[in-house]
Amino acid sequence: MAVLLWFSGLCTFYALSNVILGITGTILLPLYFSFCGTEAAVRFSLLLCVHSVLLACIPKQVKSFIPMVQLVLFMLLLFLPINVTPFIAVWFYEKLLLLAEPVFSIVEAVLVVFLVMDGSQSLVDQIEDNPGFVKSIIIGVAFVSYSLVLWITFNMFMDENMIPLENWILLAVLAVSVSVLVICLIQEEGIISDASVVSLMMVCILWAMKQERIMTTNPLNMPKQWTESLVGGKSFLWALTSMASCSLSHLGQAKMILSSLVSPTYLMLAAIRVFSVICLIWIIKQFQAKDEDKDFEDTVIDDQSSSSIPQISPLTIRLVFIFVYTEFLVRSMVISTHHSMTSHSTPSSMIPTFYDRIGSILLYFLYEVRIWRVLQICMTVVTYFYVLLTPRD
């Protein structure tokens, strides 16, 4: 009995250390972005990826019997110099983060619509058991969503910062929202809460597009201390401790940048994006499991049912979380400060002219011309109509 209690205590301690490590990484990443700049933060993100891979190589029994091995390994890696990673690897990693933005935006829109409609259908399937409860939930969600649509739309129309293009897109979004509602009411399978949430999503995407444009046209000044952390072989731990002793001017600039990275709205959007990408991986694994079941039709039924349950490894979840969270912060930093990591924080001699031009083109099409936001709105509507008009199995 004592052995079981001791072992359960170790498992609890192991789980607690995982939670502490996750919270620490989530907090430190925006701090590195704010106080040390994009390049130092991207290098710290790579450090977190290396830590996750090394942690996956350690046997689970060792991690269970050695308390806080995750945190000990993390602290050891903090003593490494910030510039230990070759710059070309960091440059490619940052450009991969920039290119992932349109892809993640599409995934985000499609999966949120799928999940909302699937949840609504699951709720409607229980209408015979709890008709009053189900109808109240559907009507309540529709009322709240359409109220938010009207409120956001009114504020956007009254906003003097709106440009003509955004006003035209807003009119188009309202017209599409009315069409979505009409088709939802005509279709027998239509659920009004789905139509309301889709309309709210489109308006919110347009609002985000407007906010990003405003932030881009009014960029924050970059602290000159950003480049200091990248010279002299200074460690990640030194950069972390230097945050407590920075000057008041640097602290003020860092607080302005940090406030744009960790606002409740941005944290909620980051959580939605991370959840969407993890759901996509789960769906892909589910399809792979179904294909494997078809190849083994002669096996026992119980074995088939157990093998069909998709499993995502902890390493995959960690790497996805680090990459998607870093991508979201990089996007926010580029919008807030209107600069690329390679264009300011690194000497031009380290960047070939061809690669520098590629970075400038990426920044222009991804953040100056926000066509991917319009594409995100279109994919939201297309996904809704596809699910609504496709016969259910």
User: Per-residue pLDDT tens for 39-93?
Assistant: 888 888 898 888 888 888 888 777 666 667 777 788 888 888 888 888 888 888 8
pLDDT tens digit sequence for 239-251 = 777 777 776 666 6
- On the question of pLDDT at 380 being above 90, the answer is yes
The torsion angles phi and psi of 384, rounded to 5 degrees, stand at -60, -50
State the residue for tokens 């992932």.
Answer: 100
289 pLDDT above the threshold of 80: no
Considering 11-25, 141-155, 345-359, the range whose residues carry the highest mean pLDDT is 141-155
Return the structure tokens found at 136: 């109240």
Cα Rg of the chain (Å, integer):
24
Neighbouring residues of 285: CB distance < 8 A, sequence distance ≥ 6: 310, 311, 312
Most trustworthy range by pLDDT among 147-161, 268-282, 283-297: 147-161
> pLDDT: is 211 or 183 the higher one?
183
Per-residue model confidence (pLDDT) at position 178: 95
Using a pLDDT cut of 90, give the percent of the chain over it: 18
Q: What is the pLDDT of residue 295?
A: 57
Read off the tokens for 35: 């106080």
User: Any long-range contacts for 146-149 (C-beta under 8 Å, 24+ apart)?
Assistant: 146/196, 146/199, 146/200, 148/200, 148/203, 149/177, 149/196, 149/199, 149/200, 149/203
The answer for 338, left when phi > 0, alpha when psi is -120 to 50, beta otherwise, is: left
> What is the CB neighbour count within 10 angstroms for residue 376?
24
- Weakest mean pLDDT among 163-167, 269-273, 333-337: 333-337
Mean pLDDT of 122-136: 86
pLDDT of 320-361, one tens digit each?
Answer: 888 988 888 888 777 777 554 444 444 444 445 545 565 565
Per-residue pLDDT, 1:
41
pLDDT mean over 218-243 = 69
The angle at the Cα of 307, spanning 304 to 309, to the nearest 5 degrees, equals 115
Average pLDDT over residues 284-310: 58
Best mean pLDDT range from 98-112, 155-169, 195-209: 195-209
Residue 80 and residue 78: Cα distance in Å, rounded?
A: 5
Task: Let me know how many helices (H) and strands (E) the chain has, helices first.
Answer: 16, 0
Most confident among 3-17, 99-113, 354-368 (mean pLDDT): 99-113
> What is residue 206's predicted lDDT score, i.e. its pLDDT?
92
Alpha-carbon distance of 29 to 360, in angstroms, equals 25
